[in-house]
Structure 1
Amino acid sequence: MLSPDPWLNLKRRHFLQSTACGLGGVALNSLLARDGLAESGALNAVNPLAVKTPHFKPRAKNVIFIFMSGGPSQLDLFDPKPQLQKLHGQPVPESFLKGIQDALIKTTAQVMASPRKFKKYGAAGLDFSDNLPHLGTCADDLCMIRTVQTDVSNHHPAQMLMNSGSTMFDRPSMGSWVTYGLGSESENLPGYVVLLSNSGKGVDGGSSLWTNGILPSTYRGVTFRSRGEAILYLSNPEGVSQAMQQARINAIRDLNAQRFDQVGDPEIASRIAAYELAYRMQTAAPDLLDFSDESKATLDMYGIENETTNWFGSNALLARRMVERGVRFVQLYHSTWDDHSNLDKNLKTNCEMTDQPCAALIKDLKQRGLLDDTLVIWGAEFGRTPMTEVRRGSSPGREGRDHHPFSFTMLMAGGGVKAGTVIGKTDDLGFHPVEQPVHLHNLHATILHQLGFDHTKLIVKHKGLDYRLTGVEGEVLDMLLA
């Protein structure tokens, strides 16, 4: 029997037919907003980290940058030089110093031989010193670049140059550029995460090395801790339930969305995204730090139960777990390798803390099928000189090396780079490149290329100018690519 009210006679099929556009539109708009494609300004604004399409098909979709702050000595780790043994204790030949204009290079310093023993690893015979026995076993997966060059030899500006392509404080870091260009595949974690070591010595550049610069704050690196609360003050205060927190977030979002529609300020979009991401992270972050689902073999491989390797090993394992969860760019910092004295002792200490976890990360990514899509980078702002730097009152065996921007070593693995190979050759003292120099602007261009970007087109307009990671320079280095 039909009711006199026509709405009560409407069958489910008729209801769906007559309202398909309305319900479908709501659902579609929600999905598009999540992916950053909705037409509504406010809805689109809430997800500036939505996945974006690069300029061309990428070889890598994630980056793990292991930054060894302070400048590890390439001459004691990767680039053996027999000539240093022959000239040990003698003045550096003038031919090596000709034309150098660097206030930190002491032309009266004496040549210093490396006390380390080297061994060749892998099919290509990559050289590693006895301080890096674990990384040596990854030789067939590594591209060793011996001739990296930078423009400055002071720590902070050199670290900024390596991380952002500029010594200016307002320039976005590499991780910020990558998340700006690609977004993030993780809905519950930041797109760009920074993990700091517990060496007891802070990074010279501090947070300026993972800044968003002129980009919206959404793209700034977020520092995580590998134990306790991943991010301080992320948990709800006592007495605040999840329902209360959700209601608060919804109210703040609505107010911010109204304001965004009025003024269009991208920082409002960043604020909306930050509040909502923080709410989702309250559940995701504790799970990320819970290693109970990892096998004992995996924990042992990273050195989690070893007091020496525990902290950096935990960070390395977290890096793998983050890329598994879609985090776009993870940066591990360990400092400091700035050994102006006691180099041999300090180098051994830092290598003991980091060598095993670094090798474990590469092997773990590979065995899980993640290395092909993940570009792993190991390096610092510069290297160390072939000369000794003996501080006043130092006794024999306590020598160190000064800063060296002219030719130093970096490692890369995965992400479509040429594995099991050495790029570049230095002179007899390891002072200058004699084959295949690699300027850091070219290195940056190549990294972006592997992520699917023409580095000249990944730009942001600011105050009438176009800014990019590589500035006005940079060429893709085909010799690094598989």
Structure 2
Amino acid sequence: MSYFGCDLATRVLAAPAAARPTARSAIMIWLSGGASHIDTWDMKPDAPEEYRGTFRPVDTSAPGVRLCEHLPHLGKQAHHLAVVRSLGDHRRGTGDHHAGYYYNLTGHAPDRTFHQLLNARTPYPTDWPSMASVVALKRPPHPHLPNAITLPHKEGAPEYTRPGQFAARLGVEYDPVFVDGTRERPLDFAVPALSLGGDLTAERLGDRRSLLGAIDAAHRFADDSAANRDYTTYQRKAFTLLSSRQTKAAFDLRAEPERVREKYGRGINAASMLLARRLVEAGVPFVSVFWKGDKELDTLCKSGGGWDTHGNNFNCLKDRLLPEFDRPFAALLDDLHQRGMLASTLVLVTSEMGRMPKIGDRRSGGVAGAGRDHWPACQSVLLAGGGVRGGQVFGTTDKRAEYPDQNPVAPEHIARTVFHAMGIDDLSATDREGRPFGLMDDGRPLTELF
């Protein structure tokens, strides 16, 4: 792959030998919309004012690692962090959300259909699988819980669904199970079909399953299509969730001590990070937390409710988005560390793109609107735990945070790094029709981080 005329592989320094990490689980926190790297993890205080904005970088618990002044809690946990500042799409994306989701969730560059359809491009069954689905495939089945869980919502539903979240060509067996949460009742997560209705006990459910199995066996003679197999898979997952007491216990946030819930803070995104910790504690291999937007911010920030701050970027970050992220994420890192789980849990913070370093999005009033447009050419990623050495920065960007400079990497490197952290070397698989294929040929793990 080329990047500004240079082969990307030659721009990444050779990795030194390192002890092999084997993380038990991973938590991915996705800042939906595209977080502003220049206002958070890759600040440029010496850049012209029309780039650097109004925020100041401050020292943290990690010498040499400076973060935004509006991340005070995370600053105290920076000794756990590795900040990858040189991530870009290297002109392989479309500049919009669907392609950014797909590339960063799967590690595969968007194909021509993304360039043709942009945000009208829906998920295809032939898509590359998400990182979560690859981990679900490669790890032994959990006895009570799914191998991959996504919360507090399916990104993009109900209007449309962002590509890249699914198992796609691996088959629905490896799709993440989606768990719903709301801003109104942040402690009450709804697992599909988890609550038994009326007087239906687990034992009676088993009897009904036997009857349903006999009926389905007859139907299979008439229709053995892929759609029918998918339906049967969903059905089996629902029965597993319904009949497991351990499943219900894992989602009970009220079982957490009040002091722990208070440490994470209130709200759906804080509750989601706390639930992610409970799920990896219960042995779930991959948990994705897709940031739940706030409808009020849609008007204030022209953002759709999340991190897509086309307007009023600085006030929306300072007053709403950064505080809502800072406290629970710092609490998650400290909580995992205090419980002795951080070494065995890889934590990743990412999103579909960065934000335009030059202030002023023409769609929200230009400079006066104080917004930042999409910027897939450059973004930052945070990594912690899972064998990652904390307190470091990998890669640099130019003086205005517009493009990667030293050690440029692409999403395939991040995906490979996740698989490496989890001890996944075998990237062979079979598709929905039983045909063998390779899950990933491009990129390499950033072993320098470990």
TM surpasses 0.5: yes
Q: Render the CA deviation track for 1:68-101: whole Å, top value 9, x for unaligned.
A: 011111111111213323xx3xxxxxxxxxxxxx
Residue of structure 1 in register with 2:168 after alignment: 213
1:252 to 198, 203, 212: 212
1:139 matched to 2:81? The reply is no
1:123 to 46, 62, 86: 62
Q: Give how far 1:225 is off.
A: 2.9
Residue of structure 2 in register with 1:39 after alignment: none
Q: Which runs of 5+ in 2 are unaligned?
A: 1-18, 112-123, 182-186, 294-305
Q: Find the structure with the greater CA-based Rg.
A: 1
- Against the structure 1 CA distance between its residues 264 and 175, is the aligned structure 2 distance closer, same or farther, given a 3 Å change threshold? same
Query: Counterpart of 2:102 in structure 1: which amino acid?
Result: M
Q: Give how far 1:430 is off.
A: 1.1
Q: Render the CA deviation track for 1:95-135: whole Å, top value 9, x for unaligned.
A: xxxxxxxxxxxxxxxx4332101102123321111221111
1:192 matched to 2:148? The reply is yes
1:290 matched to 2:252? The reply is yes
When normalised by structure 1's length, the TM-score is 0.73
- Against the structure 1 CA distance between its residues 131 and 465, is the aligned structure 2 distance closer, same or farther, given a 3 Å change threshold? farther
Residue of structure 2 in register with 1:423 after alignment: 394
Residues 152-191 of structure 1: pairs in structure 2 closer than 5 A = 152=93, 153-166=95-108, 167=110, 169=124, 170-185=127-142, 187-191=143-147
Tell me which moved more, 225-234 or 401-410. 225-234
Q: Distance in 2 between matches of 1:184 and 1:397?
A: 53
CA contact (8 A) 2:56 2:69 kept: yes
Q: Give how far 1:420 is off.
A: 0.9
CA contact (8 A) 1:156 1:204 kept: no
Tell me which moved more, 62-71 or 126-135. 126-135
1:63 matched to 2:20? The reply is no
Q: Distance in 2 between matches of 1:191 and 1:396?
A: 46
CA contact (8 A) 2:79 2:390 kept: yes
1:223 matched to 2:178? The reply is yes
Q: Distance in 1 between matches of 2:390 and 2:366?
A: 42
The SS at the match of 1:330 is strand
Q: Give how far 1:288 is off.
A: 2.7
- Against the structure 1 CA distance between its residues 135 and 397, is the aligned structure 2 distance closer, same or farther, given a 3 Å change threshold? farther
The SS at the match of 1:177 is helix
- Against the structure 1 CA distance between its residues 358 and 202, is the aligned structure 2 distance closer, same or farther, given a 3 Å change threshold? farther
Q: Distance in 2 between matches of 1:331 and 1:145?
A: 19
CA contact (8 A) 2:428 2:436 kept: no
CA contact (8 A) 2:87 2:411 kept: yes
Q: Which runs of 5+ in 1 are unaligned?
A: 1-55, 89-110, 305-309
Residue of structure 2 in register with 1:315 after alignment: 272
Higher relative contact order (CA 8 A, sep 6+): 2
Q: Distance in 1 between matches of 2:252 and 2:433?
A: 45
The SS at the match of 2:55 is coil
Q: Render the CA deviation track for 1:271-307: whole Å, top value 9, x for unaligned.
A: 56414312234x3444233334322321111013xxx
1:359 matched to 2:330? The reply is yes
Q: Give how far 1:243 is off.
A: 2.8
CA contact (8 A) 1:302 1:314 kept: yes
- Against the structure 1 CA distance between its residues 468 and 332, is the aligned structure 2 distance closer, same or farther, given a 3 Å change threshold? farther
1:76 to 17, 30, 39: 39
RMSD: 3.1
Residue of structure 2 in register with 1:343 after alignment: 313
CA contact (8 A) 1:188 1:280 kept: no
Q: Give how far 1:60 is off.
A: 0.5
- Against the structure 1 CA distance between its residues 337 and 393, is the aligned structure 2 distance closer, same or farther, given a 3 Å change threshold? closer
Query: Counterpart of 1:291 in structure 2: which amino acid?
Result: L
Residue of structure 1 in register with 2:15 after alignment: none
Q: Distance in 2 between matches of 1:402 and 1:396?
A: 11
CA contact (8 A) 2:169 2:431 kept: no
Residue of structure 2 in register with 1:17 after alignment: none
CA contact (8 A) 1:184 1:327 kept: no
- Against the structure 1 CA distance between its residues 386 and 441, is the aligned structure 2 distance closer, same or farther, given a 3 Å change threshold? same
Residue of structure 1 in register with 2:444 after alignment: 475
Q: Render the CA deviation track for 1:8-44: whole Å, top value 9, x for unaligned.
A: xxxxxxxxxxxxxxxxxxxxxxxxxxxxxxxxxxxxx
Q: Identity of counterpart residues, as a percentage?
A: 28
